[in-house]
Chains A and B, each alone.
Chain A
């Protein structure tokens, strides 16, 4: 008994980790007790489970109602402090059990326990009713709203949506399918993306073309004839002998491949170049048929390999071609 009073003094005035309050002003401050074994939820001298060595509570777990009793004799042993007694499911029988077990307890405590039992039974009944209604479909199941969680999930969904780049991925997939040919031959392409895609293809082609001999039949190439300066006359070549070596460079082909079959090659090349008016290169190449000729450089020859002949740089005006035509050209070229 002496301990109880002391304990209460310390708890009340000093510190109790189960005490919580509502209300800021001193006048309407209510003290609550968050101890799981408190009968009432309030923090005061008579309902403190720590400051009363003779105490009893009722607790409900999963529909089962237990009476927990605490006595002085076991106060030193927290493990065995609470005696757990299962109460009957019948309300009146449970009340009788209470009277029986709490026979010599203070009347106020018994009363509070009975009140608590009543409340518990009432809410259990309510829970059962709601559950039945829910099962029979007459009432919807109530679920709590978790604002914090819902807002967090919403935020994350938005972020995931933008991170998915859906349109981009769809576009990629469709283009892939087109390339693979799953759509057969569709020619109804939307203008802009088609042009874009073709430009890309063009750039790739141009790189390849620099290695091939160019069939660019855009406008008249302006050919400049320049006098030889320091070259041996033996080595002098006619302009007509000049062959295109790529990169706007003209010179004689490599000597190594001086061969007899040039004429065939020449004719091939001639036929490949199409209807451009009076490009002198072509004329020159045609005139060369009879002459022993050096073989034209192969397509894959490095550009900087050139003969000791006159080097003539010829500039071309390059115009943008109609892509459709170019395709057609490419088809008939070889």
Chain B
């Protein structure tokens, strides 16, 4: 990577006023696993110890009554004259007894992390701040920012007034993120609110400078805005919550200082195990495809076996005569079936004829029974 991409530098009014090259750290591999690991451990390093009192639950002189008294064998408070006497003591199950495994101050509160790991994590986090997609995915509102990484003129470091800082951020499109943080102020859910952690707030932009000429005081009162000097970049600020991609606003000298901090004589920039990690593209590239063996024909796929007891075609392959017989039988059945319909129709027709015949006979008899000559006027059949 001889020529690295150029990054525009913006003036305090939002116009492009120059260019620098992207520091080499920004091309470090994005190792979210390392960042997460280092973050969870680093987060534990500013804890304060808590524990129950050493003597909690133990300041009783109680002893067990032993067996034979029809009570449980838990140590009981001696003496008399008070409702406390005879009550169970000492156990974690007893009222006002000592808790199970009383918490101790000598619990391991802090974690040691290898320096190289810490540096790796910071390098990764820095690289992530240069990827707009990751910054957006982390949740920052950067739709109006002209470029990421956002580099401002060195005059940023000498802003004295918060109102001026606000104008600068607005001119550069970074104020939306600040507004988002301001809107998100809520009273904390839970007991933290009565333990001096009353409000929760989203994180806004991180302003990174190389020497403080007033920026700290100017920007620190804006909600969500944090400040950091390049010399002491903090992973807890670069990847809050263990998630890479904080929105950072750099001053030009800060960005250029990165090249001295990480580089030849400074801290080592981690190298990726793969320079080009797009596996799909590599495999489909000409260089590889041209050297591959021709594709194999592949195995013949077999049709699933047909059961000769069920399928007549499968039966035919095994026993032609049986198959033919069955076919003839089925045909005959069909013929008979159609025949049946005709037979039925014929029978019904016969029945009808007989009925008619009978009716005629009756009519003739009725006519003949009447007084008068039979067939005097003729009789029609």
Contact = CB atoms under 8 A, between A and B. Distances in A.
8 contacts: A4-B278, A5-B278, A7-B137, A9-B32, A10-B137, A51-B133, A78-B143, A79-B145
A5 B244 CA distance: 16
Interface in A61-80: 75-80
Q: State the 5 A-B residue pairs at the shortest beta-carbon distance, nearest first.
A: A17-B139, A50-B133, A15-B243, A16-B137, A1-B278
A222 interface: no
Nearest to A15: B243
Contacts of A194: none
A76 B131 CA distance: 7
Contacts of B241: 15
A3 interface: yes
Contact of A50 (B30, B136, B281): B136
A18 interface: yes
Given A15-B243, A50-B136, A10 B32 contact: yes
Given A76-B148, A78-B145, A79-B173, A15 B137 contact: yes
A13 interface: yes
B38 to A, nearest CB: 14
A17 B139 CA distance: 5
Nearest to B128: A10
A78 B150 CA distance: 11
Interface of B: 5, 30, 32, 36, 128, 131-134, 136-139, 142-148, 173, 241, 243-245, 276-281
Contacts of A304: none
Interface residues on A, range: 20 to 34
Contact of A2 (B32, B139, B142, B276): B276
B145 to A, nearest CB: 5
A53 to B, nearest CB: 9
Given A10-B32, A14-B244, A15-B243, A79 B139 contact: no
Nearest to A35: B136
Contacts of A10: 30, 32, 128, 134, 137, 244-245
B138 A17 contact: yes
Contacts of B132: 75-78, 81
A18 B141 CA distance: 12
Contacts of A81: 132
Nearest to A6: B30
A11 interface: yes
B138 to A, nearest CB: 6
B143 A79 contact: yes
Interface in A241-278: none
Nearest to A18: B137
A4 B132 CA distance: 11
Given A78-B132, A79-B146, 8 more contacts: A5-B279, A9-B30, A10-B30, A10-B134, A14-B36, A17-B138, A50-B133, A78-B136
Contacts of A76: 5, 132, 147-148
B144 A79 contact: yes
Contacts of B134: 7, 10-11
A4 B134 CA distance: 11
A6 B244 CA distance: 12
Contacts of B276: 2
Nearest to B245: A10
Given A1-B281, A79-B173, A7 B144 contact: no
B332 to A, nearest CB: 54
